[in-house]
Amino acid sequence: MKKMILALLLPLLAISLSAQQKPAYIIYNNKGKKVSFKKMLKTIAKKDIVLFGETHNNAIAHWLQLEVTRDCGQTRQLVLGAEMFEQDNQAALDLYLQGKINAKQLDSQARLWKNYPTDYAPLVNYAKEKKFPFAATNIPRRYASMVAKGGFAVLDTIPALAKTWMAPLPMAYDATLPGYVKMKEMMGGHGGDNLPKAQASKDATMAHFILKYYTPGSLFIHYNGSYHSENYEGILWYLRQQKPELKYGTITVVSQENIKSLLAENKGKADFIICVDEDMTNTY
């Protein structure tokens, strides 16, 4: 009788335990096959440059960025960089990394994102602790805004110093890249041809400063919005134009209602796709 009762209870117990397992994320490769964090880490740790595309307010993405960085830092010399810092703020960022100014002074001297304290400060502080370089890779937003209104030609009118904070002029641009075409379509014609050019000014500048700060033998991990590197475009297109011989890796973050299988639309977006439950709490 006891054996019969146990046989009846075991399946119910298994169902109960399964129902209790609610993973916050699952990692997939570009073909949609589930992979472990260890597998992802082992693969990207062998690269020269890794682009970690994020959803800016996703808590899981920011936590995993820190975990990936820390784990890679155990075996590799790192160089870090981020879209969230504009190149004209590099001096202030360097002073902070060197311990010459404190966090409050950094906040007053650099244009920090509103979620910097929770989402990016841990990465910067890790770089400070380990004495890893941290590159401010983005074009100052005022110049990207100028491109959005007047195209690349407006950059010829800015001061010489400002031109040092962006990719060399004239910037390469391929209007037929799917990401730029899609951006134009998403805006329904608003912004015309110049909106994707503004995006390209960011992509080109981030690629330029990634390569400027990259040192042979190191692993450069760059944090950027997913749209800047998804589908092997954006920043990666510019990197490969200039340094095709380097080994590149990409990670991106997507949200789904059901994370147990990757939607077809999310396959192929990156070498590794971190699929997060869409009910995950946002950082802002």
pLDDT in tens, 194-205: 999 999 999 999
C-alpha span between 275 and 258 (Å, rounded): 9
Query: What are the residues whose beta carbons fall under 8 Å from the beta carbon of 9, sequence distance 6 or more?
Result: none
pTM of the model: 0.92
Residue 160 has pLDDT above 70, yes or no: yes
Q: Higher confidence at residue 20 or residue 253?
A: 253
Residue 192 — pLDDT band, cuts 50, 70, 90?
Answer: confident
User: In the predicted model, what is the mean pLDDT of residues 121-144?
Assistant: 98
Percent of the chain residues topping a pLDDT of 70: 92
Return the pLDDT at 4. 47
Asked if the model's pLDDT at residue 154 lies above 90, the reply is yes
CB-CB contact of 29 with 35 (8 Å): yes
Q: Is the pLDDT of residue 12 over 50?
A: no
User: Does residue 117 register a pLDDT over 50?
Assistant: yes
| β-bridge mates for residue 81, sequence order | 135, 222
Report, as an integer, the average pLDDT of 10-38.
77
pLDDT at 114: 95
| 48 compared with 16, residue with greater pLDDT | 48
- As beta bridge partners, residue 19 has none
With a cut of 70, say whether residue 14 has pLDDT above it. Answer: no
Alpha-carbon gap, residue 7 to 243, rounded angstroms = 62
What is the rounded average pLDDT for all residues in the chain? 93
Q: Supply the pLDDT for residue 17.
A: 41
Place of tokens 């990259």: 214
What pLDDT was estimated at residue 185?
87
Say yes or no to pLDDT of 15 above 50. Answer: no
d(CA 232, CA 249): 9
Residue found under tokens 């996703």 = 58
pLDDT computed for residue 20 by the predictor: 62
Read off the pLDDT of residues 55-70 as tens digits, 9 standing for 90 and up: 999 999 999 999 999 9
pLDDT of amino acid 18: 45
pLDDT at 3 exceeding the cut of 60: no
Range with the poorest average pLDDT among 19-33, 57-71, 110-124, 158-172: 19-33
- Residue 144: its pLDDT value, please? 98
Tell me the domains of the chain and their CATH numbers.
25-277 (3.40.50.11550)
CA distance 172 to 35: 36
**What are the E-state strand segments in the chain?**
25-29, 34-35, 49-54, 78-86, 134-138, 219-225, 248-256, 272-277
